[in-house]
């Protein structure tokens, strides 16, 4: 599983870069097109790249290379807000029952990913009950001691149980493998439980599956109990309009295509953009006495300096320079570079509009 994860992560990462280029260029076409039909085609193509990005996101989740954005979460509240969607997804022939513990602990997870995981489990339950049945979602606190598979500790246990066909042991043993599916071609991609597995493991938890043919299935997520208090949370503020500016930005990216799209887009928004293809080139430009308000750099660059080192050097050379870093890699990779708390990061592939918003807010920070 480890090596499949690494391989998958590598492919997904390259694919992500490619999608960023395609989607960025389509956005530029949309903006530049005078012809309504051209705009419409470009928009349709961009929506397809969004779906592609969702797929690679699941693969990155499996390989635990996805950047998580964990928040303190009440699983009960998340489930109660999400239950309508689950009911719609499973359809009228399946009854959805909730059994939630009122005194449930909080856990610290990425909320949209927990929703996706729940939805994947509910859809599997639906598929296992073609003639209808009961899907039960239960939450409770559990304390595991030494010897438990999940490891000792306090967990929020979130389980999804169906009264469906169940699985024989040889299927149950393979359910987390990416692309493992028993469904017909076109029905399942075999990524649902892979995503659940990767997401829960990356969140420090554990997934258990209990199933037998004819006896239904229970999938339980053990999510570590959160230790922080709820008032520690700071939510980001989203503005609707896409703001621009006239500041000078140094963009550093080793991928020629991404560099081109990004700089074209930032120019469209009024920024004065200079490009560098690696750390050394960027340092040269910073040392040449040119003034930059902001450095926007990729973190993982081949040979030589990475984005974090570059950012630190840029701060030394040019006192007030603002920094934004970007990466398609996950938190653990970034942690190795020491980047997680030091500099703001935008995930790849980014929507150009999101990049513009983030740049604006960094440039206008006090
Ligand atoms: N609740 C369940 N009951 C019976 N079998 C299940 C259940 N959940 C998963 N499985 C088995 O595990 C396999 C893998 O599940 P997974 O969710 O990863 O992929 P999928 O449902 O086949 O496709 P996808 O979720 O990508 O659309 C399924 O094809 C099915 O054989
Ligand atoms: Mg599935």
pLDDT tens for each residue of 64-92? 777 788 889 999 999 988 888 888 888 88
CA of 262 to the centre of ligand 1 (A): 39
Q: Give the pLDDT band of residue 330 (cuts 50, 70, 90).
A: low
Could you tell me if 216 and 82 lie in one domain?
A: yes
Domain assignment present for 41: yes
CA of 121 to the centre of ligand 2 (A): 7
Which residue's CA is minimally distant from atom 4 of ligand 1? 166
Could you tell me if 100 and 168 lie in one domain?
A: yes
Write down which residue in 43, 62, 81 finishes a domain: 62
Please check the confidence at residue 4 and state whether its pLDDT lies above 80. Answer: no
pLDDT tens for each residue of 129-171? 999 999 999 999 999 998 888 889 999 999 999 999 999 999 9
Domain assignment present for 28: yes
CB of 183 within 6 A of ligand 1: the answer is yes
For residue 179, the ligand closest to its alpha carbon is: 1
Write down which residue in 62, 81, 109 finishes a domain: 62
Could you tell me if 58 and 76 lie in one domain?
A: no
Q: How far is CA 23 from CA 262, 271, 360, in A?
A: 11, 21, 21
Q: Give the pLDDT band of residue 103 (cuts 50, 70, 90).
A: very high
Q: How many angstroms separate the CA atoms of 361 and 175, rounded?
A: 43
Q: How far is the first Cα of the chain from the last one, in angstroms, to the nearest whole number?
A: 46
The answer to whether 311 touches 279, Cβ cutoff 8 Å, is no
> Around ion ligand 2, which residues have CB less than 5 A away?
124, 192
Domain assignment present for 355: yes
Domain assignment present for 229: no
Q: How many angstroms separate the CA atoms of 89 and 126, rounded?
A: 8
Q: What is the mean pLDDT of the chain?
A: 87
Per the structure, the complete domain to which residue 117 belongs is given by 71-224
CA of 193 to the centre of ligand 1 (A): 7
Which residue's CA is minimally distant from atom 9 of ligand 1? 124
For the chain, the domain total comes to 3
Please check the confidence at residue 233 and state whether its pLDDT lies above 60. Answer: no
Cα angle for residues 118, 7, 170 (degrees, 5° grid): 55
Q: Give the pLDDT band of residue 230 (cuts 50, 70, 90).
A: low
The answer to whether 57 touches 69, Cβ cutoff 8 Å, is no
Could you tell me if 76 and 213 lie in one domain?
A: yes
Pocket test for ligand 1, best of 8, 136, 175 (most atoms within 8 A of CB): 175
For residues 200-209, average pLDDT: 94
For the chain, give the percent of residues with pLDDT over 70: 92
| Top-ranked range on mean pLDDT: pick from 41-55, 166-180, 326-340 | 166-180
Residue 38, pLDDT score: 92
Could you tell me if 115 and 181 lie in one domain?
A: yes
Pocket test for ligand 1, best of 137, 188, 211 (most atoms within 8 A of CB): 188
pLDDT tens for each residue of 31-46? 888 888 999 999 889 8
Write down which residue in 34, 62, 90 finishes a domain: 62
CATH code for the domain of 287: 3.40.50.2300
Could you tell me if 262 and 294 lie in one domain?
A: yes
For residue 133, the ligand closest to its alpha carbon is: 1
Reduce the secondary structure of 326-365 to three states and give it as a string: EECCCHHHHHHCCCCCCCCEEECCCCHHHHHHHHHHHHCC
């Amino acid at each position: 599983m480890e090596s499949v994860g690494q391989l998958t992560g590598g492919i997904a990462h390259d694919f992500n870069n490619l999608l960023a280029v395609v989607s960025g260029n389509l956005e530029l076409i949309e903006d530049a097109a005078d012809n309504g039909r051209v705009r419409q085609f470009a928009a349709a193509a961009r929506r397809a790249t969004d779906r592609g990005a969702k797929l690679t996101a699941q693969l990155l989740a499996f390989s635990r290379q996805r950047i998580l954005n964990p928040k303190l979460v009440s699983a009960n509240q998340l489930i109660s807000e999400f239950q309508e969607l689950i009911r719609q997804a499973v359809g009228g022939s399946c009854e959805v029952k909730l059994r939630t513990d009122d005194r449930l602990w909080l856990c610290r997870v990425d909320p949209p990913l927990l929703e996706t995981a729940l939805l994947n489990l509910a859809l599997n339950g639906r598929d296992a009950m073609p003639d209808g049945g009961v899907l039960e979602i239960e939450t409770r606190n559990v304390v595991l001691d030494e010897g438990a598979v999940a490891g000792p500790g306090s967990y929020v246990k979130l389980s999804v149980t169906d009264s469906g066909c169940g699985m024989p042991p040889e299927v149950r043993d393979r359910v987390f493998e990416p692309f493992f599916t028993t469904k017909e071609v076109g029905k399942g991609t075999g990524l649902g439980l892979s995503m659940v597995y990767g997401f829960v493991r990356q969140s420090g938890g554990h997934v258990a599956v209990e199933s037998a043919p004819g006896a239904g299935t229970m999938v339980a997520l053990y999510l570590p109990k959160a230790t922080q208090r709820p008032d520690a949370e700071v939510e980001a503020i989203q503005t609707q309009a896409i703001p621009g500016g006239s500041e000078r930005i140094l963009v550093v990216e080793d991928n020629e295509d991404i560099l081109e799209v990004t700089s074209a887009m930032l120019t469209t928004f009024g920024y004065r953009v200079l490009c560098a293809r690696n750390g050394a080139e960027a340092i040269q430009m910073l040392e040449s006495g040119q003034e930059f308000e902001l450095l926007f750099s990729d973190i993982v660059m081949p040979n030589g300096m990475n984005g974090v080192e570059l950012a630190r050097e840029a701060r030394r050379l040019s006192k007030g320079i603002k920094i934004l870093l970007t990466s398609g890699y996950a938190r653990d990779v970034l942690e190795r570079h020491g980047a997680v708390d030091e500099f703001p990061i935008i995930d790849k592939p980014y929507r150009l509009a999101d990049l513009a918003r983030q740049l604006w807010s960094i440039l206008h920070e006090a």
